[in-house]
Amino acid sequence: MKDFHARFIAFAIEHQVIRFGSFKTKAGRVSPYFFNAGLFNTGASLHALSEFYADAILASGISFDFLFGPAYKGIPLAAAIAIALAQRGRDTPFCFNRKEAKDHGEGGALVGANPVGRALIVDDVISAGTSVRESVALLQAAGATPVGVVTALDRMERGSTPLSAAQEVTAHFGMPVFSIATLDHLMDYLAQDPALAGERQRMTEYRARYGEGISSSAD
């Protein structure tokens, strides 16, 4: 586990972005933890989050020409990450989409930098992969080439198949999906604190049932 993985998890727990308890997911599963990136809702927390994204992006070694933030959560993320990268000497263009195409003024569905070259899609999480599919279609229609997706947390949880949402995106589009942290990193972090042993045990049981690579017969 790299230093920024552990620091991000500690930061997310401190800000109650990661919470432990009993939470019902969209899939109807009862999860022992919940991740709500919407709680990074102050200037200081968004700035810190953007730095973690920059850490993950630079550590990945991925080659890209601009950032794309899908509406709505991806918009402030793309802007903040571009600032964080610029502060590290990499001035990166970014753009985002409107939910509805504008039919006056400059028009179009995309706002910001001209989407030329290789696009790195930034988002908070991948659930069913719907946002990624929409982003890929928009970028390709604009003549750009999507080359990857970066998110805050990969729950490493299967969807309708034994693959996780991130793995399904990679399998379908042939591009990598990486995150600031994953469920593996979270569980490693919990293992270091005896006070969190109970939370880790509940997460271990949940993962044994719903983790990526687990057959749906486990339901």
Nearest to 69 by CA among 146, 174, 156, 155: 146
What's the token pair of residue 32? 């022992």
Active-site residue, selected from the candidate residues 2, 24, 47, 102? 102
Q: Is 27 exposed, middle or buried (0-12, 13-18, 19+ CB in 10 A)?
A: middle
Q: Is 26 a catalytic residue?
A: no
Nearest to 175 by CA among 121, 130, 211, 215: 121
Q: Where are the beta strands (DSSP E) in the chain?
A: 18-24, 30-35, 66-69, 94-102, 108-112, 118-122, 145-154, 177-182
**Beta-bridge partner residues of 211:** 157
**Beta-bridge partner residues of 122:** 150
CA angle 62, 67, 69 (to 5 degrees): 125
Q: Is 102 a catalytic residue?
A: yes
Calpha distance 200→162 (Å, rounded): 22
- 74-101 in b/e form (b: 16+ CB < 10 A) is bbbbbbbbbbbbeeeeeebbbbbbeeee
**Catalytic residue ranges:** 102, 104
